[in-house]
Amino acid sequence: MKKFFGLALGILTAIGGFVDIGDLVTNAQVGARFGLSLGLVVVLGVLGICVFAEMSGRVAVCSNRATFDLVRERLGPRVGLLNLVASMIVTLLTFIAEIGGVALALSLASSVNDLLIIPIVGLLVWLVLWRARFSLMENVLGLLGLALVVFAVALWKLDPSWGHLAHQTFTVAKPGDEDWMTYAYYAVALFGAAMTPYEVFFFSSGGVEEKWTEKDLGQMRANVFVGFPLGGLLSLAIAGCTATVFGPLDVQVDALSQVGLPVGVALGKIGIAIVLVGFVAATFGAACETGLSVGYSLAQYLGWQWGKFVRPDEATRFHVVLVLATMLGVAVLMTGVDPIMVTEISVVGSAVALPLTYFPILVVANDRDYMGEHVNGTLANALGTVYLVVVVLAALAALPLLVLTGMGS
């Protein structure tokens, strides 16, 4: 019974923790502009993050070493440093976007200006990073994040033409008024939103934090292969909602309030209340994960003690990095920069930085020296190779597309 409970808890938190500000914003934007015609990209991205997370989780279990530890070992200090800088920039951008997202969600609920809320959010995030137990943080925020299931309910209530949505998805039907360049740009953005590098830093470091052993491999795989795809369905539901409500009106989504609006249309005030809880939990959870990821990657590169599995006074440098990262995030947001814009940049940045961490993990997952009998099997390697190609193509295309389309405008 206890085992079943643990399994269910793990899967539920994986679902609730899957969606972050990047998924919320990008899926809503794409839904409003392109309907579900990019739905298969979400599927591609979700399968990709499953493959990637399973590999890095397995590496963490078998070798007790998390992602950035291995990046430096396998690429050397020089290339590793370039890798660190690129990954940290992207993760910090995501971190800033998540804090901004929490503030926006709270300001929607309270009508207090988000600039007043940002410092408080920053303080709360830091307190959680400093004091809260790792598993408590994961479970509470992951479970509250399940409130976003309300998007699926809303979509069902909106009762769209299901045949039409399915047709859009499977025929990859680009709307006539959009050009292929913009379409490709949003495809890359969606892919980057689903496959963010921080999820992998966090997942592999989390495996060490929670002291996974080989016995936990099954639980880890269940979280990844059941939890993530169900979380991915939420992404699709968000796109479906905005497609149904905004699509016919030709409205662009550029505020968090618009992301939640379809739920209000479908379910009224109660829907809005639930969706706000979901927004706060999802972005706050992701803020904690990205904040920790900044500390993880720097500490692992330099060999410092990291993690919440030791007391803060045993990992002092790690906690100093967390404080500085949080202060930096708050400072950037206090300039009045639009968190939605930071989000848009961060998802494209994710696509660019992804191969840097993907490749070393793929290599190490094949190394008997680290993995013993748990090296990649044929399926993991076949999928791993396909995704290596996809990830490199997306990374190469991302920046040119960003420039050529003027960020998809």
Residue ranges that bind another protein, judged by CB under 8 A? 61-65, 69, 72-81, 213-214, 300-306, 310, 314, 362-363, 366-370, 372, 375-376, 381-382, 384-385, 388
Asked if 105 and 275 touch (Cβ cutoff 8 Å), the reply is no
407 touches 344 (CB < 8 A):
yes
* Minimum CB distance to another protein smaller for 257 or for 381: 381
Query: Contact at 8 Å (CB) between 16 and 281?
Result: yes
Closer residue to another protein in complex, CB, 59/256: 59
Report whether 103 contacts 118 (CB < 8 A). yes
Between residues 254 and 367, which has the closer beta carbon with respect to another protein? 367
For residue 167 the two structure tokens come to 């047709």
What residues contact 111, with CB distance under 8 A and at least 6 apart? Answer: none
- Closest approach of another protein to the CB of residue 214, in Å: 6
Residues 6 or more apart whose Cβ sits within 8 Å of residue 13: 138, 139, 141, 142, 143, 145, 223, 227
Question: Nearer Cβ to another protein, position 273 or 392?
Answer: 392
At closest approach, how far in Å is the CB of 327 from another protein? 22
- Minimum Å distance from CB 25 to another protein? 34
Q: Which is nearer to another protein, 321 or 347 (CB)?
A: 321
CB of 335 to another protein, least distance (A): 29
Q: Closest approach of Cβ 125 to another protein, in Å? A: 24
* Residue with tokens 């600039």, as numbered in its chain: 115
Judge contact between 60 and 138, C-beta under 8 A: no
**CB of 338 or CB of 367, closer to another protein:** 367
Q: How far apart are CA 384 and CA 347, in angstroms?
A: 21
**Least distance to another protein, CB of residue 295, Å:** 13
Q: Residue for token digits 């993690």?
A: 307
Tokens of 258: 């618009």
Taking a C-beta distance cutoff of 8 angstroms, is the pair 155, 233 a contact?
no
Q: Given the complex with another protein, which of 310 and 331 has the nearer CB atom?
A: 310
Residue for token digits 């979380």? 231
The least distance separating another protein from the CB of residue 310, rounded to whole angstroms, comes to 7
| Least distance (Å) between residue 218 CB and another protein | 15
**Shortest distance in whole angstroms from residue 320 CB to another protein:** 15
199: CB partners within 8 A, 6+ apart: 49, 53, 289
Of 60 and 275, CB closest to another protein:
60
User: What are the distances in angstroms from CA 235 to CA 19, 29, 101, 380?
Assistant: 7, 11, 16, 25
Nearest approach in angstroms of CB 313 to another protein is 12
Q: Tell the burial category of 252 from Cβ atoms under 10 Å away from its Cβ (0-12, 13-18, 19+).
A: exposed
CA distances from 262 to 168, 241, 266, 272 (A): 19, 6, 6, 9
C-alpha triplet 126, 18, 351: angle, nearest 5°: 90
Asked whether the beta carbons of 142 and 12 are under 8 A apart, the reply is: yes
Residue 175 or 372: the one with the smaller Cβ distance to another protein is: 372
The residue (of 171 and 316) whose beta carbon lies closer to another protein is 316
For residue 216, the minimal CB distance to another protein (Å) is 11
Residues with Cβ within 8 Å of residue 294, at least 6 apart in sequence: 88, 91, 92, 95, 321, 322, 325
Nearer to another protein (CB atom), residue 219 or residue 376: 376
